[in-house]
Amino acid sequence: METSRAVTNTDSSDLPFPSGSRPPIWRLLVVLVALVLVPAPSYAASQGQPMSGAVSETPVDHTPDAVTRARGPVAVPEASEKTLRYYRSGNVLWLINRAWALLIPALFLFTGVSARIRDVAQGIGRKWFFVIAAYVIIYFAVNYLLTLPLNYYQGFLREHEYGLSNQSFWRWFGDSLKSLMVTVVGGMLLVWISYLLIKKSPRRWWLYTGIAAVPVMMLFMLVQPIWIAPLFNEFGPMQDKALEAKILQLADRAGIDGGRVFEVNKSEDTEAVNAYVGGFLNTKRIVLWDTLVKKLDRDQVLAVMAHEMGHYVRGDIWKLIVLFSGLILVALYAIYRVMPALIRQFHSRFGFDEPADIASLPLILLLLSASALVLAPVAMAYTRHIEHEADRFGLELTRDNHAMASALLFLQQENLANPDPGPLYRLWRSWHPVLADRIRFANTYRPWETGETLEYGALFHQAE
């Protein structure tokens, strides 16, 4: 699973697999939530993000090649010095980003700039809808400029410094502008719906907005693979037809009919490896990064694919929609309760005195960022569970413990992921179980050897 991650590039964990990059479905959901939750998330940021560390600094016998040659259990790797540096500075950046997400909207509010943007917007657009549109464009454009230096450092300079990115500056910059565009278009839709509901129903808008978020999320997931992802990278059929046939055969066993597999040209941006399940209804698909196909051996690719198929078959996209809907509702209710008091207290500085005034948008974004911070551990506890089950599904489907464990090790190395991060990281930033745990599980989970019932065996088309 993956989601679009609109937010920053710093942290990431992809659903699919790696802990170094953010996954598509996740990205979707997060983009969406971020559109609401975080001031100006940049989709591009996450696009250029994962990256691999190519040069392995781990002990020689842990390198993917060596592991691939010897087929035993895979040793849980120690983090290299470089990985630790990347991890620690990443934590600092994460904190800066979270603080930024509170600080920027606060700045718009307390300086009265938000009220001034509203006045300008009212001058541009006469009709209510156009006032909203003009406000959104100005707000996100200013926010983009204020955040550009930070994004340039974390999304470009730092990734190059660690050998994770091979994007040119102009490509990075182009992607960041495209992200801004996606944010503005998506933001207009969301803001327009929310303020219409605030206006029409001052007491229940939080509930109606939460309900309206469900179809919006679905729409977003539906169009993400066909309209949004192709803005950033080229998607096409798999190049390696023999491998594609293997994958389709595996999909068939997993009970997926007519599954579609796409390869995306990510090697232009990164050396990191990843795969994800994306889309919705008839845009649902499994996507492999071309880097994954190039760097992993066939069995490892199949192990990764089996994990993705687990998400597909278990309907994890639906579960995420339900989860995020619930969290959005909680956040909106909190905002509904807190907002009037804040406006009463500071209305002369803010320059507006009711929630339905579009100038209150930064206040909503600020409170959403705060809520997101509080709710993140809940969301991640659940996604870690989903990911763990997808690993279990994958292992039961392939019964190839070594391929799974060594693929995980490979991802750890390529994406400079800390295999064993600290408790705060686990709680607030781990969409996946930490890699050390996943590798241990992949090494040892083999109920088929003792004749135990497989958790997902009944779903497989022709169990062996």
- If the CB atoms of residues 271 and 387 are measured against Zn ion, the closer one turns out to be 387
Q: How far is the CB of 431 from Zn ion (least distance, A)?
A: 8
CB neighbours of residue 62 within 10 Å? 19
Q: Which two tokens stand for residue 306?
A: 């089996």
Nearer to Zn ion, 275 or 358 (CB): 275
Window 398-437: residues binding Zn ion (CB under 5 A): none
In the bound state with Zn ion, the residue whose beta carbon lies nearer, of 271 and 316, is: 316
- Binding Zn ion (rule: CB under 5 A), the pick from 15, 109, 320, 331 is 15
Residue 278 touching Zn ion (CB under 5 A) = no
- Within 308-431, strands assigned E span none
**What span, in angstroms and rounded, lies between the C-alpha atoms of 261 and 244?**
8
Q: Per CB under 5 A, which region of 8-16, 294-302, 348-356, 422-430 contacts Zn ion?
A: 8-16
Q: For residues 132, 136, 142 and 146, what is the CA-based torsion angle, rounded to 10 degrees?
A: 140
Sole binder of Zn ion in the list 16, 53, 210, 278 (CB under 5 A): 16
* Residue 463, phi then psi, degrees to nearest 5: -60, 145
Cβ distance to Zn ion smaller for residue 53 or 433: 433
Residue type, position 163, single letter: G
390 binds Zn ion (CB under 5 A): yes
Q: Give dist(CA 355, CA 428) in Å, integer.
A: 30
Using CB under 5 A, count the residues that bind Zn ion.
4
**From 7-15, 227-235, 279-287, 335-343, span contacting Zn ion (CB under 5 A):** 7-15
CA–CA distances in Å: residue 277 to residues 16, 17, 176, 303, 304: 7, 11, 24, 14, 11
CB of residue 448 to Zn ion, shortest distance in Å = 22
**Choice between 362 and 394, CB closer to Zn ion:** 394
- Using the rule CB under 5 A, give the single segment among 11-19, 50-58, 70-78, 232-240 that binds Zn ion: 11-19
| CA–CA distance, 17 with 370 (Å, rounded to integer) | 28
- Of 258-266, 380-388, 423-431, 435-443, the window that binds Zn ion (rule: CB under 5 A) is 380-388
The span of 15-23, 26-34, 150-158, 204-212 binding Zn ion (CB under 5 A) equals 15-23
Nearest-CA neighbor of 386 among 293, 319, 457? Answer: 319
Residue 165: φ, ψ to 5°: -115, 145
Between 14 and 271, name the residue whose CB sits nearer to Zn ion.
14
Residue 270 · residue 291 · CB < 8 Å: yes
Q: Which residues bind Zn ion (CB under 5 A)?
A: 15-16, 387, 390
